[in-house]
C-alpha cells in the first residue's frame, strides 16, 4: 500500500483519545468547556486526547459520553463488542405504527372526519392518560395512529378558513403528543419530521398557544442535538417569546403557561452553556409567570405550573454542575406534588443527577429506584439515568453493585 494512502481504520483502529477529540470537535466544544463539564483540567483532556494518558475508568468514560452526547459507547471506545446506546432508548413496539401514520400521505376522503370538538376531547383524554400511566409510551402509542389520521382528515375537510385554522391547532397538538412518544427512540429523522410538521400546523393555525407549544418542542429538539445546536434552540425560543410577550397582559392561563415554559427552556439552554446568571435570570422570569397561574393549574403538554418550578430549579443547578446547590434545590423540591407520573419520574432522575454530582451515590441510586417506581418507561429511555446505573454497576460497594445491577436488568441494560 502506498505510504500516503488512507489508513484502514479496522487494521489500525483509532485510539480512545483520538475518538474523544473527533467527537468533541464534531460537537463544536473546546477543551476548556469539556474539562468544565467533567470537573477536570483542560490539560487532563489534552493528555487523554494526545495519548499521553491511557483510557480512563468506566465511570469517567460514561461522564465523557454524557458530556459529548455520544449515542453509542462503541463510538467512543472503539470496542464494537460492547455497544451501549446511552441517549437513545429501545425502539418501542408501537413505533412502527406511529411512523406509518406520520409518513402516510392520504388524499382521498373515504369517510367523514370527526368534529373538531370530538377530536379535542380525545386529545385531552390522551394527555390525561399519559400523565397517569407508568407505561405512558404504550398508552400514547396505542392512541396516536388513529389520532394522527383523524386530525389530518379534519384539516382536509374543513369548510371555512376559521374551521381550518382550528383544525390545524388540534393537528399541531397531536404532533406534539407524537413528539413525546418518538423522543429518545432510534429514529431521529422521524422526530424531526414530527417537530417540523407540528411547527407548520401551528403557524397555519395562527393560534398563540399552538405556536408556543410547537416552538417549545422544537427548541428542545435542537438543544438535545448538542452544543452546536444551542444557537438554533435559542433562535426558535426567543422568536416565540417575542411573539407571545405582547399578549401577556390579557393572556389566558394556557398562553401564560407556554410563555413560562419557553422562558425556562431559555434558562435550561443557558445552563447547558454554563451561563450561571443568565440561566437563573430566565428561571426567575418563568417563576413570576408561574405565580400568575392558579395554584391547581397544570399545563398538559409542558407540565408548567407553580409546582414544577422547584423541579426546574434542580435541573438548572444540575446543568450548571453545582453539586451543593443541586442537592439544596432537590431537598427543597422533594415535597412537590407533581400530578404527572412521567414528569415525576423525570424529576427523580434530575434529583439523582444532583446527588451523584454531590458525591452521594447511594442516595442517587435510591432516587432512581423511585423514578422507576413512578414511571418505568421514563427512566428506560433517559440517557442520564442509564449512565448513572451503568456507572454504579462498577461501584466498589457490593450492595450498591447488586442494587444497580438489578435496576440495570429492569432497564434492559444487562441480560436477565
pLDDT at 72: 67
d(CA 410, CA 376): 9
pLDDT at 140: 95
The H or E element that residue 368 is part of is: helix 361-374
pLDDT at 237: 96
d(CA 405, CA 75): 24
Q: Which residues pair with 85 in a beta bridge?
A: 72
d(CA 343, CA 352): 14
pLDDT at 71: 63
Residues 6+ apart with CB under 8 A from 404: 365, 389, 392, 393, 395
pLDDT at 89: 58
Q: Kindly tell me the burial class for residue 104, based on how many C-beta atoms sit within 10 Å of its own C-beta (0-12, 13-18, 19 or more).
A: exposed
**3-class DSSP state of 270:** helix
**3-class DSSP state of 391:** helix
d(CA 237, CA 231): 10
What are the residue ranges spanned by the domains of the chain?
A: 16-77, 307-416
d(CA 91, CA 416): 19
Residues 6+ apart with CB under 8 A from 8: none
pLDDT at 4: 39
Q: How do residues 310-327 score in pLDDT, each as one tens digit? A: 999 999 999 998 889 999
d(CA 171, CA 191): 16
d(CA 288, CA 306): 9
Residues comprising the chain, all counted: 416
pLDDT at 79: 66
d(CA 392, CA 273): 27
Q: How do residues 155-193 score in pLDDT, each as one tens digit? A: 999 999 999 999 999 999 999 999 999 988 878 889 999
Yes or no: domain 307-416 corresponds to CATH 2.40.160: no
pLDDT at 31: 86
pLDDT at 24: 86
What is the value of pTM for the model shown? Answer: 0.80
> Dihedral of the CA atoms 91, 352, 227, 289 (nearest 10)?
100
309 C-beta neighbours (distance < 10 Å), count: 20
pLDDT at 180: 93
16-77 architecture in CATH?
Orthogonal Bundle (1.10)
φ/ψ (deg, to 5) at 384? -65, -45
d(CA 347, CA 370): 10
> Which residues, given as ranges, of the chain have pLDDT below 70?
1-13, 59, 71-72, 79-90, 108-109, 335, 414-416
Question: Are 310 and 302 within 8 A, CB to CB?
Answer: no
In the chain the first and final C-alpha atoms are separated, in Å, by: 47
CA 375 distance to own-chain centroid: 15
Classify residue 71 by its DSSP letter.
S
Q: How do residues 262-283 score in pLDDT, each as one tens digit? A: 999 999 999 999 899 999 999 9
Classify residue 112 by its DSSP letter.
P
Question: Are 147 and 104 within 8 A, CB to CB?
Answer: no
Amino acid at each position: 500500500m502506498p505510504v500516503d494512502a488512507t489508513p484502514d481504520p479496522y487494521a489500525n483502529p483509532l485510539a480512545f483519545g483520538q475518538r474523544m477529540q473527533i467527537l468533541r470537535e464534531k460537537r463544536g466544544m473546546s477543551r476548556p468547556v469539556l474539562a468544565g463539564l467533567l470537573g477536570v483540567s483542560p490539560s487532563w483532556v489534552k493528555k487523554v486526547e494526545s495519548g499521553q494518558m491511557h483510557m480512563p475508568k468506566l465511570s469517567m468514560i460514561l461522564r465523557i459520553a454524557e458530556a459529548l452526547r455520544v449515542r453509542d459507547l462503541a463510538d467512543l471506545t472503539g470496542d464494537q463488542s460492547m455497544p451501549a446506546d446511552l441517549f437513545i432508548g429501545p425502539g418501542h413496539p408501537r413505533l412502527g405504527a406511529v411512523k406509518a401514520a406520520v409518513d402516510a400521505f392520504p388524499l382521498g376522503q373515504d369517510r367523514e372526519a370527526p368534529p373538531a370538538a370530538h377530536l379535542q376531547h380525545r386529545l385531552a383524554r390522551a394527555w390525561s392518560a399519559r400523565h397517569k400511566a407508568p407505561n405512558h409510551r404504550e398508552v400514547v402509542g396505542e392512541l396516536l395512529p388513529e389520532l394522527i389520521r383523524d386530525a389530518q382528515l379534519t384539516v382536509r375537510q374543513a369548510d371555512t378558513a376559521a374551521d381550518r385554522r382550528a383544525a390545524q391547532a388540534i393537528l399541531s397538538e397531536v404532533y406534539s403528543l407524537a413528539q413525546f412518544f418518538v423522543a429518545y427512540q432510534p429514529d431521529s429523522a422521524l422526530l424531526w419530521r414530527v417537530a417540523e410538521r407540528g411547527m407548520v400546523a401551528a403557524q397555519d393555525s395562527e393560534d398563540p398557544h399552538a405556536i408556543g407549544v410547537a416552538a417549545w418542542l422544537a427548541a428542545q429538539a435542537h438543544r438535545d442535538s448538542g452544543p452546536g445546536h444551542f444557537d438554533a434552540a435559542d433562535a426558535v425560543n426567543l422568536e416565540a417569546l417575542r411573539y407571545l410577550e405582547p399578549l401577556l397582559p390579557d393572556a389566558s392561563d394556557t398562553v401564560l403557561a407556554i410563555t413560562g415554559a419557553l422562558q425556562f427552556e431559555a434558562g435550561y439552554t443557558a445552563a447547558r452553556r454554563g451561563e450561571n446568571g443568565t440561566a437563573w435570570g430566565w428561571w426567575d422570569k418563568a417563576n413570576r409567570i408561574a405565580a400568575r397561574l392558579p395554584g391547581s393549574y397544570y399545563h398538559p403538554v409542558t407540565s408548567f405550573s407553580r409546582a414544577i418550578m422547584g423541579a426546574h430549579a434542580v435541573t438548572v443547578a444540575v446543568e450548571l454542575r453545582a453539586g451543593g446547590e443541586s442537592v439544596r434545590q432537590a431537598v427543597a423540591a422533594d415535597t412537590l406534588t407533581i400530578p404527572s407520573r412521567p414528569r415525576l419520574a423525570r424529576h427523580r432522575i434530575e434529583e439523582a443527577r444532583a446527588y451523584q454530582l454531590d458525591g452521594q451515590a447511594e442516595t442517587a441510586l435510591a432516587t432512581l429506584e423511585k423514578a422507576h417506581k413512578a414511571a418505568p418507561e421514563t427512566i428506560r429511555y433517559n440517557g442520564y439515568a442509564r449512565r448513572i446505573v451503568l456507572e454504579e454497576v462498577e461501584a466498589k460497594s457490593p450492595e450498591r453493585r447488586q442494587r444497580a445491577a438489578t435496576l440495570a436488568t429492569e432497564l434492559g441494560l444487562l441480560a436477565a
